[in-house]
């Protein structure tokens, strides 16, 4: 019965399930990937069963212009769709490209921080919270005012990628702006009442104004993780602060250059010579 269901109907029903039981970010991820697959099939009447035969051609097309890591995201989405309908069909993933997440330089960060005074308090908070907590955009947009502890300078995140609550910490710089900003939001439940597009728009403007190539909100998460790891914070602790399900993900945030490695070696040199 499921196999003769129209692909469009099957995708919509699966997305309804994701929307209820998964995070907003996960929903957007699957919606984007599965919508792209449906568009490729280019047939309103294609069934779930018929779409199976389209996958290899679809992947071949993606491989021409995309890295393995990107193609795998499409395959994961398709595999999960079939799994939801108990279809015994799994497409093997490609070996992932060797990846290290990109971060900005110390000089680029200085540019951003020096420009803060030209931004309104809301945009200042966006930047300092991303920088000091390493949170994801979806987590930022779902901060509840009642979960901000101004005394301890902590925030309890209840909407996270892995659906696990976690605490993050912030500095005195953010504390001052938070106290002022909270007084302006009235009876709102959420700290911020805007969408992804506003956050992305802010960083598009900063990218142009400050001439920082590819600047985006997620780079603050990378910088946060990299800085903690460089200054000797235990990788497991960093993983917890970032809300990672696996330390393997945290390792991708390591950005060591020649001087870093030289410094590490000099620290242990007395013990090995």
Tell me whether residue 255 is one of the annotated catalytic residues.
no
Tell me whether residue 90 is one of the annotated catalytic residues.
no
Angle in degrees, 0-180, between the axes of helices 121-133 and 196-210, rounded to the nearest 10:
90
Tell me whether residue 221 is one of the annotated catalytic residues.
yes
Is residue 39 within 8 Å of 51, Cβ to Cβ?
no
Catalytic option among 14, 54, 253, 255: 253
Distance between CA atoms of residues 244 and 230, nearest Å: 18
Catalytic option among 54, 136, 222, 255: 136
Catalytic option among 8, 221, 222, 255: 221
Q: Radius of gyration of the chain from Cα atoms?
A: 22
Catalytic option among 8, 54, 222, 244: 244
- The contacts of residue 134 (CB under 8 Å, 6+ apart) are 168, 220, 221, 224, 225, 241, 242
Tell me whether residue 28 is one of the annotated catalytic residues.
no
E-assigned strand segments in 152-214: 154-157, 166-169
Catalytic option among 28, 218, 230, 252: 218
Q: How far is CA 161 from CA 28, 74, 137, 142, in A?
A: 12, 18, 10, 12
Catalytic option among 8, 33, 54, 161: 161
Tell me whether residue 161 is one of the annotated catalytic residues.
yes
Burial class (CB in 10 A: 0-12, 13-18, 19+), 118: exposed
Tell me whether residue 222 is one of the annotated catalytic residues.
no
Active site residues: 136, 161, 218, 221, 244, 253
């Amino acid at each position: 019965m499921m196999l003769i269901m129209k692909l469009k109907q099957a995708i919509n029903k699966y997305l309804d399930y994701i929307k209820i039981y998964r995070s907003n970010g996960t929903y957007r991820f699957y919606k984007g990937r599965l919508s792209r697959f449906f568009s490729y099939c280019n047939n309103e009447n294609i069934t779930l069963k018929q779409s199976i035969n389209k996958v290899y051609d679809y992947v071949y097309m993606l491989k021409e212009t995309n890295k393995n890591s990107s193609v795998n995201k499409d395959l994961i989405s398709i595999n999960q769709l079939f799994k939801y309908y108990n279809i015994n069909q799994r497409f093997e993933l490609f070996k992932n490209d060797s990846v290290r997440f990109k971060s900005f330089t110390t000089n680029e960060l200085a540019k951003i921080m020096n420009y803060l005074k030209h931004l309104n308090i809301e945009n200042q908070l966006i930047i300092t919270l991303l920088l000091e907590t390493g949170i994801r955009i979806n987590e930022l947009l779902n901060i509840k005012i009642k979960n901000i502890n101004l005394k301890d300078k902590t925030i309890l995140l209840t909407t996270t990628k892995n659906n696990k609550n976690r605490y993050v910490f912030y500095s005195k710089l953010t504390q001052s702006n938070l106290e002022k900003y909270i007084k302006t939001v009235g009876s709102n439940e959420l700290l911020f009442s805007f969408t992804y597009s506003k956050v992305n728009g802010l960083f598009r403007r900063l990218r142009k104004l400050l001439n920082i190539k590819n600047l985006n909100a997620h780079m603050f998460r990378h910088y946060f993780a990299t800085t903690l790891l460089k200054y000797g914070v235990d990788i497991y602790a960093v993983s917890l602060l970032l809300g990672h399900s696996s330390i393997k993900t945290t390792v991708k945030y390591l950005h060591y250059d020649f001087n870093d490695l030289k410094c590490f070696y000099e620290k242990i040199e007395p013990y090995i010579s």
